[in-house]
């Protein structure tokens, strides 16, 4: 969304009278920014698509502009550099009441072309968290989402099934673009009490992992429906790499997500796909299971026992629950519970609340808001 930048002259009574200069600079920095981050490390990558984007870092009380792939500090005295000019406004709004409006991020849910969205928002860059998960739950994520970038025509269909009393999730990643894509990471957002999801270190003996995510199936399918085993770029199997990635992918707690009524926090679980490449018009199916087991050396090892956390459309959390477009950005009926192989005969519904990151940048999906 474009913003209105007003250059006020003291003594001219066209709009609001000039106030304290320092307070107006801070207001412009926070309200007129495309991205608001707590620390500099929380800023997303300054890529070509973000050229000219203005970001404000709260801890530093400093504004930055994305220029030549580098976040360049703004001069605090130059108020005009922290504002953008509205070139098609038909009104003379002088207040900042609309400065924090968010563009509706629904294109990933409706499978519309991302190129049309790019035309409609060519002068606006959506903010997203780019913090990559740590290997320990001791450090919480400061991810706070106000919108989804939804900049790529790639989305996820998903359903849940039960097998041997454990919860499984089958995810289908559809590459609808005319180019291959790799270096992807899925994020599943789940609500849980800490004791039901966070690893517990042992004292003189192995600890426990109440929730472990493990790979069960990985297949690639072309536009004709032919299936192939997942391969790395060098032609070797992806099985060992995917399992190793998931062993170190413990749930990350999101700051400010505590729900006092349920005594639960929101966590995200990363599913890193490594260098697995999805060709254009192909889909990737990956089935994961949720179990419990042992924790030692910052690694979880499954015992193939049921996880302490129950997953369903009513208890799973953000990526499982039903959503409404006017509340969260896209209509979604909730994660369906199907038979194990039902996805072979019926297309799983697109789930816009499973996000996709590429090289730390959000490219599809809607993260939770706090």
Chain segment 266-280, per-residue pLDDT in tens: 999 999 998 889 999
| Minimum mean pLDDT range among 103-117, 236-250, 260-274 | 103-117
Banded pLDDT at 67 (limits 50, 70, 90): confident
DSSP annotation of 241: H
- Looking at the predicted structure, is the pLDDT value of residue 83 above 70? no
C-alpha to C-alpha distance for 279 and 178, rounded to whole angstroms: 8
Question: What is the residue whose two structure tokens read 């790639």?
Answer: 154
Domain range summary for the chain, segments of one domain joined by +: 21-101, 125-364
Fold of 125-364: Immunoglobulin-like (2.60.40)
Over range 321-335, report the average pLDDT: 96
- pLDDT 10s digits, 70-79: 778 876 443 4
C-alpha to C-alpha distance for 314 and 29, rounded to whole angstroms: 40
Of the chain, the percentage scoring pLDDT greater than 90 comes to 36
Quick one: pLDDT at residue 84?
Answer: 40
Quick one: pLDDT at residue 144?
Answer: 46
- Looking at the predicted structure, is the pLDDT value of residue 183 above 80? yes
Q: What are phi and psi of 343, to 5 degrees?
A: -65, -15
What is the number of other CB atoms lying within 10 angstroms of the CB of residue 144? Answer: 20
What is the number of other CB atoms lying within 10 angstroms of the CB of residue 180? Answer: 12
Banded pLDDT at 137 (limits 50, 70, 90): very low
Q: What is the mean pLDDT of the chain?
A: 75
C-alpha to C-alpha distance for 187 and 166, rounded to whole angstroms: 20
- Looking at the predicted structure, is the pLDDT value of residue 158 above 90? yes
| Minimum mean pLDDT range among 32-46, 55-69, 147-161, 270-284 | 32-46
Asked if 52 and 34 count as a contact pair (C-beta separation under 8 A), the reply is: no
DSSP annotation of 278: B
| Between 72 and 80, residue with greater pLDDT | 72
């Amino acid at each position: 969304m474009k913003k209105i930048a007003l250059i006020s002259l003291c003594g001219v009574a066209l709009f609001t009278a000039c106030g304290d200069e320092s307070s107006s600079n801070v207001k412009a920095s926070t309200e007129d920014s495309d991205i608001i981050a707590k620390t500099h490390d929380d800023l997303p990558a300054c890529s070509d698509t973000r050229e000219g984007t203005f970001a404000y870092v709260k801890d530093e009380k400093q504004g930055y502009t994305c220029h030549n792939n580098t976040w360049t500090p703004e001069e605090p005295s130059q108020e005009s550099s922290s504002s953008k000019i509205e070139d098609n406004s038909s009104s003379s709004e002088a207040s900042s009441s609309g400065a924090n409006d968010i563009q509706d991020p629904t294109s990933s849910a409706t499978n519309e072309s991302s190129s049309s969205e790019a035309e409609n928002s060519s002068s606006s860059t959506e903010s997203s968290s780019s913090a990559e998960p740590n290997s320990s739950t001791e450090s919480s994520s400061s991810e706070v989402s106000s919108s989804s970038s939804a900049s790529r025509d790639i989305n996820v269909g998903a359903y849940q099934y039960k097998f041997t009393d454990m919860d499984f999730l089958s995810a289908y990643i559809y590459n609808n673009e005319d180019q291959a894509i790799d270096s992807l990471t899925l994020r599943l957002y789940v609500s849980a009490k800490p004791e039901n999801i966070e690893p517990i270190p042992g004292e003189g003996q192995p600890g426990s992992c109440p929730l472990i995510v493990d790979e069960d199936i990985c297949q690639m399918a072309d536009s004709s429906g032919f299936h192939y085993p997942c391969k790395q770029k060098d032609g070797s199997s992806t099985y060992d790499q995917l399992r190793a990635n998931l062993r170190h992918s413990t749930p990350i707690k999101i700051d400010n997500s505590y729900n006092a009524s349920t005594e639960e926090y929101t966590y995200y679980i990363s599913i890193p796909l490594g260098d697995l490449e999805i060709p254009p018009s192909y889909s990737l199916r990956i089935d994961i299971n949720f179990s419990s087991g042992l924790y030692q050396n910052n690694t979880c090892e499954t015992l193939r026992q049921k996880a302490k956390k129950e997953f369903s459309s009513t208890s799973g959390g953000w990526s499982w629950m039903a959503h409404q477009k006017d509340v969260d950005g896209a209509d979604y009926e909730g994660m369906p519970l199907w038979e194990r192989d039902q996805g072979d005969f019926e297309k799983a519904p697109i789930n816009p609340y499973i996000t996709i990151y590429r090289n730390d940048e959000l490219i599809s999906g809607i993260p939770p808001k706090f």
